[in-house]
Amino acid sequence: MSPNVPVRLGFWSGVGLVVANMVGVGVLTSTGFMARDLGPAAILAAWLVGGVTALCGARAYAELALLIPRSGGEYCYISELLHPSLGYVAGWTSLLCGFSAPIAVAAAAAGSFVATIVPGIPPRAFAGGVIVLLTASHALDLRWSKRTQDLLAAAKVLLLVGFVAVGLTVGSHRLPEWRPAAPHDGAFAAFMVSLVYIAYAYSGWNTAVYAAEEFDEPRRTVPRALMVGTLLVTVFYLIVNWIFVANLSPERLARWTEGDTERITLGHLLIVDLAGAPAAKAMSALVILALISLCSVMILVGPRVLAAMARERLLPRVFDARAGRPPGVSVLLQSGLALALLATHSFELLMRNVGAILTLNSALTMVALFRARFGRTGLPRPSNGSLVAAGIYILLAFWMLWFAFRGSPITVAWVAGAAAVAFAAWFATRKAGEQT
C-alpha cells in the first residue's frame, strides 16, 4: 500500500478495539472485592446486569454513531445535541478518568506480573517503559499503530481461550454453595455498589466511537463493532466469573483481598490451584500481553477526543492530527498524564471512582440521544429500539450511582472535582477565544 494512502480500520479491527479495551485487570480482580459481601448467585447476577447495561449502552451508542459519524465519542455527541460546555466536560473526563488513569493502572499491573516471572525487574520501571514504547508506536505512524493493536488483540484472545479452557476442563462444575459474611449495609446495597466495580470492568464497550472517522464506512462498521465486541465480552465475563465462584472459596478470596503480592489477580490464584505454578507463570505472561494490549488501545483511541476538541477550536490546533497521521501531541499529553498517575492511586478506589465517573458520562450521552429524538436537531430520528436501550441504561446507571454516592463521599468528591476542573477549563477557553 502506498504511504500516501490513508490507513482505514475495518470491522474486525473495531471488534478488537472494543474487546481489547474492555478486557483488562478489572475482570480478574472485581469478583474478589465483591465476594466480601455477595454470594455466588448474586455475583453472577451482578455480572449479568453489568453485561445487559453495557449492551444497552452499546446499542444506544451505535445509533449515535449512525447519526453523527465523527471521532471524539461523548465530546461530539453531547456538544452537538446538548451543549458545548457539557461536551467539553465529557471530553476532559474521558481523557483523565477514561484513559490516562486506567493506562497507569494497567501498566502497573503488568509490571507486578513481570516481577512474578522474572524477580528483580522493578515493576514501576517496567510499567513506565511499556507506556513510553506504546506511546512511540501510536504517536508516529498509523500503520504501525494498527499492526501493533491487532497483534496485541490477538494475544489477548489467546489468553481468554486458554484461561477458559483450563477453568472448564480442570476446575469444578458444581453449583457453588459458599456464603459470605453479612454485608454491613445490607445485601441489596452491596449488590448495587458492586455494579460500580463491574462498570469499570465493562468500560470500553464504546471504544470504537472515539476513532469513528478512521474506520472504513463508519456508519456501518462502528455500530456493528460495538455490538459484536460487547456481546463477546459479556459472554466471556459470565464464563470467567462462573469459573471463579465455582473454584475459589471465600477464605481464599479474603486472603487475596488482604494483599497477596505473589498472585496479583484472581486468575493467577485460580490457575495455581488448578494447574500448578508453571501454568500460573504461563498465564502471567499472557496476562502481561493482555494488559499491554489494554494500554495500547487506550493510548490509540483516547487522544482522538483531544483531536476532536482541537478541530472545534477548544484546544490549540497542535492537538489535532495531520492528514493520514495520528494526533501525536495528544498522544504525548495523555501518556504524560498516565506516567504522572502511575503510582498515585489505590487500585480498588480507582476502579470505584473511575467507574462512577464513566457511568455518569455515558448516561449523559444517553440523554443526548433522547434530545436527538424529541428536539429540533436537524438529524434523523433515532430508532425506538435505541431509545429503549438508552432508557434502560439511564435507569440502571443512576440507580447504581445513587448507592455508590451514598456509601462513598470520596466518590462524590471525585465526580465533583473532575466536573469543577473541566468547567473551569471550559470558561477559561471561552474567555481566551473571545479575546482573540
* CB-CB contact of 23 with 294 (8 Å): yes
Which class for 304: exposed (0-12), middle (13-18), buried (19 or more C-beta within 10 A)? buried
- At 45 the pLDDT is 93
Kindly state the percentage of the chain with pLDDT values over 90: 12
List the CATH number of the domain containing 373: 1.20.1740.10
Residue 124 included in any domain = yes
C-alpha atoms less than 13 angstroms from C-alpha of 275 in its C-beta half-sphere? 20
Cβ neighbours of residue 426 closer than 8 Å, sequence gap 6 or more: 85, 88, 89, 314
What single-letter amino acid sits at 317? R
Give the Cα separation of 77 and 97 in Å (integer): 18
In a domain, 298, yes or no: yes
- Give the C-alpha separation, 356 to 411, whole Å: 7
Structural domain for 120, as ranges = 11-435
Q: What is the CA radius of gyration of the chain?
A: 21
**What one-letter code names the amino acid at 132?**
V
Strands (E), 195-353: none
Confidence grade of residue 302 (pLDDT, cut at 50, 70, 90): confident
Nearest Cα to Cα of residue 135 among 298, 269, 376, 379 = 298
143-171 pLDDT, tens digit each = 666 666 667 667 767 777 877 888 888 87
Residue 395 falls inside a structural domain: yes
Give the whole-angstrom CA distance, residue 152 versus residue 108.
18
Number of domains in the chain: 1
Give the DSSP H or E segment for 100.
Answer: none
Q: How far is Cα 222 from Cα 28, in angstroms, rounded to an integer?
A: 28
User: 6 lies in a domain?
Assistant: no
In this prediction the pTM is 0.77
Is 165 among the domain residues? yes
- Reference 72, options 318, 333, 305, 331; nearest CA is 305
Instruction: Convert the pLDDT of each residue in 73-127 to its tens digit.
Output: 888 899 889 888 888 888 777 777 778 878 887 888 788 778 777 878 888 889 8
Nearest partner of 30 among 99, 112, 105, 98, judged by Cα? 105
In one letter, which amino acid is 294?
A: L
Most confident of 112-121, 122-131, 268-277, 310-319: 122-131
- Report if residue 5 sits inside a domain: no
Give the C-alpha separation, 307 to 331, whole Å.
Answer: 10
What kind and span of H or E run contains 15? helix 11-22
